[in-house]
Each structure stands twice: as structure tokens, then as C-alpha cells.
Amino acid sequence: MTVNKMRFAPSPTGNLHIGNARTLILNYIFAKSIGGGLVLRIDDTDQERSEERFYNSIIKDIDWLNIDLLDIKKQSEKTEKYKQVRDQLIIQGKLYPCFESDEELNKIRKLNLSRGRPPIYDRASLKLSSKQIEEYKSKGVKPYWRYKLDHENIAWKDLIRGDQSIDCSTFSDPVLIRTDGTFLYTLPSVVDDIDMSISHVLRGEDHVSNTATQIQLFKALNAKIPNFGHHSLMVQKDGSRMSKRSGSMSLGEIRDKGIEAITLINYCARIGTSDAIEAYQNIDDLIYNYDLTKISRSPARFSFDDLTLLNKKILQNKSFSSVREQLTKLVLDKNIDENFWNSIRANINSVSESKKWWDIIYGDIDCKTDKDNADFLSLAYNILPHEPWDENTWSSWTKNISEKTGRKGKELYLPLRIALTGENSGPELASFLLLIGIDKVSKRLKINIK
């Protein structure tokens, strides 16, 4: 039985974005580093906004990242349990009904501010008599429910931020239940953490104030309090906040742009920490000695350019066996071999770019250079080495060309590269030449000397 257990709790109201991915990955790596596991909890109490397609998208993203889960739970399946806890808290006097409209609450806030007081709820509904409550109900006014906070100091040792302390008298009693009887985030979250025996809760720093309320709820329900940790938020490169609504890059978009799963894991695990982002090929290397305290209090700034560069580094060291299936699907040829991958992997940002180089090798492409190089390429054609070719063919051929023409460096190599590949840059031609083969090399040189 797993003693250490963590949870990732997205709402199926949109696709996971890069900020969500960071929370997911930090939870997974830390859970593994302490010998535990991760539960996926779907926070779908908001039935109006929750959609099955987003749930399926979340599952697809987690599968793509190759994150193994202990279990999957949906809050929508536990409504009766939440109602039982609701009734228990009402009996304890910890939940109380309120009848103010939004307009009335705004007036209370403004009045408090004008008097130099904190804009917090004044607990007016606690003073209502049974008769007054019945009068509201007889008029069809449905109550929303607040949790009566103990005005005490709540302290905990945060996994990331260290010693934390919040004075609960400085904010309003939180609303836990809406007028339609549906539950807001706080109560179901605590109930689920208790039922699933969650030992550690790792989430964004925007939940710090929620933690004080939830600790009081754990105490009221005589439950063990998890270890809490709050990481800095990830923001866009310009500093704006990540969100589903702001158009932040989704995991689906990142995947479609050719980013490898291990690239995203490396990036999210280290961005915003004092450790350098490294191109690990295996998640176990990240898990080993992982230290949450290295996460900075400053926001982590997301850069897709940096993510792409990291992806390139990772691809340079990926084995052929690890990408063979991807390559086969891409080029639709089961005969693809390791020599092709070894020749091109240093020159691609994503596996999908392999298709371009496959077509250059095996396809009919336009490799014409400018006419000024016709005589140069004619000479190159005439002294093209006979087969068999090997890894030394390119160097011996170009050395011979250089001796006869006096050309060196870019003046020597660029016209040959363009004539053979149609590109200004690319893989090392010493190995690439062998893949193109003598027939295509001859044909492409002839095109340029006519």
C-alpha cells in the first residue's frame, strides 16, 4: 500500500495548458522521489462548464507524458458524500446560511472600505433569528453557505516556501456552497484528500490562503492534515498570467509542434528553479534527489523558443530505437534504418522535420544553384569518385575539387550542398552523401551543369 500519495486536480473546463503541465509534472516527480504515487482527481463539480471532451483531452495529455496514475476519481460521483459532510458541519455550527444578494455584499465591502476597515464579510447572517431565516425562505430566497472560520493564526511548514502563517481573522468566512446547492472547490477538495489519504498537496501559490481554510476544515473533520507545498506560478514570456481563457499554449498544441514528452517534463521540472534545465533522456534522472526547495519564489517565465532548443538537444541524443516507430509512421517506409537517423538528428528541432530530409534523400527535388557555379559543378561531376563509397569519400572528393579550383570553405562547400540537397545548411555531408548515393548525386550535379 502506498503511504505517500499526491493528487493532480484539474477541472475539465478546458484543455491543459503549459502552466497546468508544470503542476502535474512537479507533483509526479516529487511523488516518485518520496516513493509515492499520483492520483488524478477531476474537479467537475461545476457541471455547467465541465465537458467530457476536456476530460478525454486531460487523459490523452497524461498518457502522452507517460505518467502512471494510482487512480482516477471524479468529484461529480461523490455528491452524496459531500452532502453528508455538509450536514455534519451544519450540526457543528461551522456552516451557516446567508441570504445577502451580490449587490448587498458589494455595499458592505464599500462601507467597510470607506470606514478604513478590511472589506470582509461582517457575519451579519449569524445574527439572524429562526423567524428571519424562515421569512427569507418563504420569499423564495435560497441561502448560500459560509464556513465559520476560527479567528486564529494558522501555521504550517510549507514544502517550498518554508514556515507560513496566516491570520484567519483578516479575511471573510469563505463560501462553500452556492445558492443552487452546488459545492465550491474548498469542501470537496478536503473531503477527497481525506478519503484518498493524500499525504502531500503540491499546487500553485495562488492557493496559499485556501490552505489556511482547508487546514481548519481538516481539524473540524478530525482528519490528518497533509503536507502542503505552494510553487511559484508560471507566466507567459511577457509576464502575463497563464490560463485556459487567455489562450495559453495547450499541451495538445505543444505536442502538435513536435515537442517530445520528455522535453516538456525536463523543462517543467526545472524552469523557475536554481538548477539548470538539462536534456535528460529518462525521467528517473530528474526524480533522483529532486529538491522542491530549489523552486524560486519568482514566477517562472515560459518561452517556447527555449523549449524548442531543449527539444533539439534531446533529439541529438535519442537512440534510433526510441524514435523508430515515429519515423516509420512519418515517412511510411518500414525499411528506415539507423544511418538515416544518425545523419539528421543533430539538424532537426522535432522528429517531424525528419520527413524533409527523407524526401531530400529519396525524392526528386529542385537542387539548382546559380549559373555562376556551373563550371565548378561540372568539374566536381567529372572527378566524382567511383564506388564503393565510404565515410572518407566526401573528404577525398572535396579535397580533390579544392586542389583543382583553389576554392575553400564556404565557397567550396556551399555550392555542393545546394546542388545535392537544395538547402543552405543541414546534416554533415560526409554521411549524408552515402545515403543519397552515387546515382542521385550524379543526376543532381548534371542538372546544374546543363
pLDDT tens per residue, range 117-133: 778 898 999 999 999 99
Q: Which of 64, 66, 88 is nearest to 283 (CA)?
A: 66
> Does residue 366 fall inside a structural domain?
no
* Peptide linkage before 388 cis (omega within 30 of 0): yes
Whole-angstrom Cα distance, residue 129 to residue 430? 90
pLDDT score at 19: 92
CATH code: domain of residue 413: 1.10.10.350
Residues near 9 by Cβ (< 8 Å), separated by ≥ 6?
40, 41, 42, 43, 189, 203
Binning pLDDT at 50, 70 and 90, where does residue 365 land?
confident
203 shares its domain with 289: yes
327 shares its domain with 396: no
Q: Which is higher by pLDDT, 111 or 31?
A: 31
pLDDT score at 139: 92
pLDDT score at 97: 95
Q: Which is higher by pLDDT, 147 or 367?
A: 147
Q: How far is CA 356 from CA 212, 291, 363, in A?
A: 55, 41, 10
202 shares its domain with 56: yes
> Does residue 365 fall inside a structural domain?
no
pLDDT score at 118: 78
Biggest CA-to-CA distance, the chain = 108
Whole-angstrom Cα distance, residue 416 to residue 423? 10
Q: Which of 39, 34, 75, 106 is nearest to 291 (CA)?
A: 34
Taking residues 77-93, what's their average pLDDT? Answer: 96
207 shares its domain with 67: yes
Judge contact between 228 and 189, C-beta under 8 A: no
Strand ranges inside 106-239, DSSP E:
144-147, 153-158, 162-167, 175-177, 200-204, 227-231, 234-235
All cell numbers assigned to 371: 549559373
Whole-angstrom Cα distance, residue 301 to residue 436? 43
Residues near 296 by Cβ (< 8 Å), separated by ≥ 6?
232, 272, 273, 274
Last residue of a domain, one of 153, 177, 201: 177
> Does residue 103 fall inside a structural domain?
yes
292 shares its domain with 231: yes
Whole-angstrom Cα distance, residue 358 to residue 323? 15
Q: How far is CA 145 from CA 29, 176, 211, in A?
A: 37, 6, 19
Q: Is the model's pLDDT at 116 over the cut of 80? A: no
pLDDT score at 82: 97
List, in sequence order, every residue forming a beta bridge with 241; answer none if it has no partner: 235
46 shares its domain with 161: no
Taking residues 62-72, what's their average pLDDT? Answer: 96
pLDDT tens per residue, range 200-256: 999 999 999 999 999 999 999 999 999 999 999 998 888 888 765 555 689 999 999
The rounded mean pLDDT for the chain is 92
pLDDT tens per residue, range 254-304: 999 999 999 999 999 999 998 889 888 999 989 987 889 899 999 999 999
Taking residues 390-404, what's their average pLDDT? Answer: 96
CATH code: domain of residue 264: 3.40.50.620
330 shares its domain with 443: no
| Low-confidence winner among 98-112, 312-326, 398-412 (lowest mean pLDDT) | 98-112
Last residue of a domain, one of 177, 211, 234: 177
All cell numbers assigned to 193: 484528500
Residue 295 belongs to what domain range?
A: 1-74+185-317
Binning pLDDT at 50, 70 and 90, where does residue 332 land?
confident
Judge contact between 5 and 237, C-beta under 8 A: no
133 shares its domain with 70: no
Whole-angstrom Cα distance, residue 244 to residue 234? 13
CATH code: domain of residue 140: 3.90.800.10
| Low-confidence winner among 2-6, 385-389, 413-417 (lowest mean pLDDT) | 2-6
Q: Which of 242, 192, 174 is nearest to 77 (CA)?
A: 192
> Does residue 443 fall inside a structural domain?
yes
pLDDT score at 366: 79
191 shares its domain with 295: yes
Whole-angstrom Cα distance, residue 114 to residue 108? 10
204 shares its domain with 303: yes
203 shares its domain with 305: yes
Share of the chain above pLDDT 70, in %: 98
Residues near 63 by Cβ (< 8 Å), separated by ≥ 6?
none
139 shares its domain with 202: no
Q: Is the model's pLDDT at 361 over the cut of 60? A: yes
Total number of domains in the chain: 4
Cα-flanking dihedrals φ and ψ of residue 345, to 5°? Answer: -65, -25
pLDDT score at 364: 86
Q: Is the model's pLDDT at 432 over the cut of 80? A: yes
